[in-house]
Amino acid sequence: WAWRRLPVPVIAAVHGHCYGGGVQIALGADFRFATPDSQWSVLEGRWGIIPDMSGIQSLSEVVGIDVAKRLTMTAETLSGSAAAEIGLVSEVHDDPEAAAEAFAHRLMQRSPDALAAAKRLFDDTWHAGARRTFARERIEQLPLLFGANAKAARAAAFAKAPAVFGPRSRR
């Protein structure tokens, strides 16, 4: 769960087996890239226990409740492709590490302040009501609008050039 608290996007690349605690660790990432033939299972059900290490909370944020219950209660094993179909995996690639690295490079072209604010906003309001979400959007947006990295993004967009960002603000 600590990865959720990092102010930067966290990307997991999975190949091979991702069982039990491995699923829970992968679910701590913001994005999960996997091979089509990787194997995923909430394996605790096989041993007569349930996910811990924030596994229930993490599952509830990436799949529907019926899918989370099915995975937890049956301990069935899914391929990476099947896991992607239900939302457990973000993307499937033959080389998930290369795909994750390419995605990280895409994210690095964006303001580090905006990335951190977006992560905070989604993580803090995903299941909140509209009123709370709208209020948090305004709170997050104001510092961004007047920040140095937003200025750099605007200047780069107008110049049709890559932005050069400064360090992420401490927010």
Mean pLDDT by runs of 10 across the 171 residues of the chain is: 90 96 95 98 93 88 94 97 98 98 97 96 91 92 92 94 91 71
Beta strands (DSSP E) in the chain are 11-14, 17-19, 31-34, 39-41, 78-79, 91-92
Query: Which candidate, 47, 60, 125, places its Cα nearest to that of 88?
Result: 60
> Which residues, including other chains, have CB under 8 Å from residue 53's CB and lie 6 or more apart?
1, 21, 24, 25
Domain boundaries, the chain: 2-106, 111-159
Query: 16-23 long-range contacts, Cβ below 8 Å, gap at least 24?
Result: 19/43, 19/77, 20/44, 20/51, 21/53, 23/51, 23/55, 23/88
- The DSSP output letter for 7 is S
- Does residue 121 contact residue 142 with C-beta atoms inside 8 Å? no
CATH of 2-106, one of 3.40.50.620, 3.10.20.30, 3.90.226.10, 2.40.40.20: 3.90.226.10
**How much is the pLDDT for 169?**
87
Look at residue 55 in the predicted model and tell me its pLDDT: 85
Kindly state the tokens that stand for 39. 């194997």
Predicted confidence at residue 120, as pLDDT, reads 94
